[in-house]
Structure 1
């Protein structure tokens, strides 16, 4: 099974080291890892470093299970699209990226499966440029999922979606991680969704890792006060997941 471990990882923007000291235990295939932290904490920078888009110190240890797959796939926060393609064409191109261009029935079936699960089949033949922000985000999620990588880096993949769609998308990604044995790292601001779906939580603040581990070991009232500057408590819900209450209001 695939495993990913970060060893004292850092990232440069120009000559400035903006992220440093990121060390994790082995992250295992099938796990959802929520990467949390305040704005400008370094979450996007960390993802770009893991994806190979930025340089920096430290190491990335990745044990791959299938050398024919794209090992790491990265969905950036900016999902704007200028290409003159339909939704379906863009997802098909993502599926075949880095592999032979021949398309077989298995490719088409999996693309259809992902599009149906994300409820974007009705817009399959619309141009990317005609989509709303939320629709573009769903298409970007589909483009990442159909690559079936060992590791998915998803930078705020649900930020433009309403609550119902957020739960749909995160539930599907959770199921795909389990089924395919992928590691899914999701940068997310909604701590309730992190508590609901994540197997581990990686907390970053001021460009450094503060904690990495079980969600309830990381997301604590003391951490929320220190990092986010809010007084909050963690409560168990009747639906078997925990949520954050800030000043008597669910965050």
Structure 2
């Protein structure tokens, strides 16, 4: 089973330190890890550091992987393709970037079809990316990432442009994918109620450092909300054992 652990991880842009000293317990395949924290806390930089897109101190320890660092896929906030491509072409191209040569095989076409169906965007397959809404483009970006069949998936705010129905659909799908394929899914989220509902583990990033890491219902608590988000809030237990944040005031 694939697993990953961060040990004193940091990253800089030139002389400026963006994140430093980020350490976690070992995350394992099948888990959804919500990465939360205020704006400009360093979440995107941390994802790029884990993916090997930028350098920095510390160690990202990946074990049990059949693909090594190639098994880590990073989904940025923006669409990663030319807007002149069709949806189908962009997703297929994302798949072909993994393999030498440009011969397209039936199993690759089947995988693209499956991802478009799973995300409910088959009807967009032959529309140009530039014609799509922001939410539609975000779903295409998710398909581009998933078609690579990652072992560790880093998703930077994948639901920010989606309506409530689509947000729940995508997060349910990602949680099922993690379980079925034993993938580790990191998702940067701003909605802490979604983190409580869909994530097994939470990593809190603020001021470029880790402020907490562990099971979601333990890490997201009143003290963390006060210290990191500067709000007074209560966390209530709802039906099915879920928890919900009720905000009273700002600090």
TM tier relative to shorter chain = over 0.9
C-alpha offsets along residues 3-40 of structure 1, whole Å, 9 cap, x if unaligned?
A: 10111000001121110011111110111000000111
Distance in 2, matches of 1:137 and 1:215, equals: 25
Distance in 1, matches of 2:103 and 2:170, equals: 29
Alignment check: 8 A CA contact 1:198 1:215 kept: yes
Alignment check: 8 A CA contact 2:87 2:124 kept: yes
In the TM superposition, what are the counterparts of 1:15-34 in structure 2 within 5 Å? Answer: 15-34=15-34
Shift of 1:83: 4.1
Shift of 1:239: 4.1
TM-score scaled by structure 1? 0.94
CA gap of 1:68–1:38, structure 2 versus 1, over 3 A, is closer
Shift of 1:109: 2.2
- SS of the residue corresponding to residue 5 of structure 1 reads strand
CA gap of 1:230–1:242, structure 2 versus 1, over 3 A, is same
C-alpha offsets along residues 184-237 of structure 1, whole Å, 9 cap, x if unaligned?
A: 111100101101111100001100001110111110011101110111111122
Shift of 1:64: 3.9
Distance in 2, matches of 1:233 and 1:67, equals: 43
Query: What's the RMSD between the two structures over aligned residues?
Result: 1.6
Query: Structure 2: 5+ residue runs without aligned partners?
Result: none
- SS of the residue corresponding to residue 247 of structure 1 reads strand
Aligned to 1:107: 108
Moved beyond 6 Å, runs of 4+: none
- SS of the residue corresponding to residue 70 of structure 1 reads helix
Aligned to 2:127: 126
Distance in 2, matches of 1:160 and 1:61, equals: 32
Query: Structure 1: 5+ residue runs without aligned partners?
Result: none
C-alpha offsets along residues 69-96 of structure 1, whole Å, 9 cap, x if unaligned?
A: 9311101112264342100011111122
